[in-house]
Amino acid sequence: MSDLPRKNPYRPGAATAPLHLAGRQPQIARFKKILDGAPEIPANLRLTGLRGVGKSVLLKELEQEARSKGWAVVRKQLEPRHNTETELTDLLVALAAAAKRRLSLASAIRAAVSDVWVASRGLLNVTVEDVTFSLAGSSERETELAEALFDTVQAAVETGREGFAILLDEAQVIRDDKDREGEHPLSMLVAAVNALQESGLPIALVMCGLPTLRANLQRARTYSERMFKGENIGELEGNPGAARDAFVVPLDGTGITAADDLVARVLEEVEGYPFFIQLWGAELWEAALDAKVDSLTVEMLDLIEEQIYERLDEEFYAGRIETLTPSEQDVLMLSAACPYPPLKTADIRALSAKSDGNINVLMGRLTDQGVLYRIQKGQYAYTAPKFAEYLKRRKAALER
């Protein structure tokens, strides 16, 4: 049908916001309350969840909410290379400095109101010396970070902002070494932010990542877990209305509809994971346009489902295996034959010729790589949803 729109209303890309963000209103509302409570109550939030649940999309939404409430904001996706004290400090100091430059420009424009606002917050009663005093005995990098953050918070307040918010994605890549003489970038960040917050300064820290982030924080500092409000971002399966909206609402106004039995089947297959909802919708949309029909149906899904899984495996799963070492890949492929959930090291040992110590090391490395997360001793789970099914498909293909 030539009069149908050509632009696909589904957005299955990484960290790509959907046209309709379904089911995340409770988290957004709680984040607003967290900001409202600052600086008297530390405005820190930990977002954790599996791959594909929309954490990065939600983080972008929180960024906009913080800006709308008058906060100066920086958002950054962390990378494994930032997992040292020097690299993390350099990154955050640069982000803070860039934010300060933008705020300083605004300060010249809003000078007439800044003095009144600063006095109302009492910021002039706090100095950088007050902050660094509480960090006595800390590393130079920790003090440097605290001073840079202090300067940016001060610039934010002087321009009439509520405070300065730092939003970090993929934050599970930052973790402390077990060795006391090793690198402790996460402890450094937590201590610097905590020092500012204990001094009454309006700074917010949002850390977003895989489930391993929670354990990393617990190991970093004894008080770090208490610093953060926790939000576990899950699939929408427990909220069928939101899951249905995520699939159906993007079709509003397009001239294309979805049959009820098709919607029910898609939601059952994707188990409420937002990325999968978008992928199934995108492929069905393209199929409808190619066929010049105005309805998405079960019969259509039957014809293209193999193609959907091929795209899913290539774009979502394959990269998580292909970057691993051969030994790590071997252990992961062995796990495809194990009962799940959970994944037990004992089951893998029963199938492998490797030593128990070698298996434990490899499981630890897979956890560090973000492929697994530890539930408890000897038990793990995959960080990507429906990953066990993918491993079985991959194993069958390799055997063929």
pLDDT interval class at 226 (50, 70, 90): confident
Angle at which helices 240-248 and 274-291 cross, to 10°: 30
Q: Check if the beta carbon of residue 398 is closer than 8 Å to that of residue 361.
A: no
Residue 120 has what pLDDT?
43
**CATH number for the domain whose boundaries are 323-399:** 1.10.10.10
Flag whether pLDDT at 104 surpasses 80: no
Question: CA 163 to CA 204: how far, in whole Å?
Answer: 8
Flag whether pLDDT at 108 surpasses 90: no
Residue 306 has what pLDDT?
95
pLDDT interval class at 119 (50, 70, 90): very low
Question: CA 288 to CA 221: how far, in whole Å?
Answer: 54
Q: Check if the beta carbon of residue 188 is closer than 8 Å to that of residue 141.
A: yes
Flag whether pLDDT at 113 surpasses 60: no
Residue 223 has what pLDDT?
75
Residue 171 structure tokens: 């934050």
DSSP 203: E
Of the candidate ranges 65-74, 164-173, 225-234, the one whose mean pLDDT is the lowest: 225-234
Q: What percent of the chain has pLDDT over 70?
A: 92
Q: Check if the beta carbon of residue 52 is closer than 8 Å to that of residue 385.
A: yes
Bridge partners of residue 380, in order along the sequence: 343, 374
Determine the average pLDDT of the residues in 36-59.
Answer: 95
Helices and strands per DSSP (H, E), number in the chain = 18, 10
Residue 15 has what pLDDT?
80
At 302-348, the pLDDT tens digits run 999 999 999 999 999 998 899 999 999 999 999 999 999 999 999 99
Question: CA 132 to CA 125: how far, in whole Å?
Answer: 15
Which of these, 54, 17, 3, lies nearest to 250 by C-alpha position? 17
E strands present in 240-364: 257-258, 295-296, 343-344
- The fold for domain 25-232 equals Rossmann fold (3.40.50)
State how beta strands 43-48 and 203-209 pair.
Answer: parallel
CA atoms within 13 A on the CB side of 219: 16
Residue 1 has what pLDDT?
47
E strands present in the chain: 43-48, 71-77, 163-169, 203-209, 229-232, 257-258, 295-296, 343-344, 372-376, 379-382
Model confidence, pTM: 0.90
Question: CA 179 to CA 130: how far, in whole Å?
Answer: 30
CA dihedral 197, 46, 24, 8 (to 10 degrees): 110
Residue 134 has what pLDDT?
67
At 341-360, the pLDDT tens digits run 999 999 999 999 999 999 99
Helix (H, G, I), strand (E, B) or coil at 110: coil
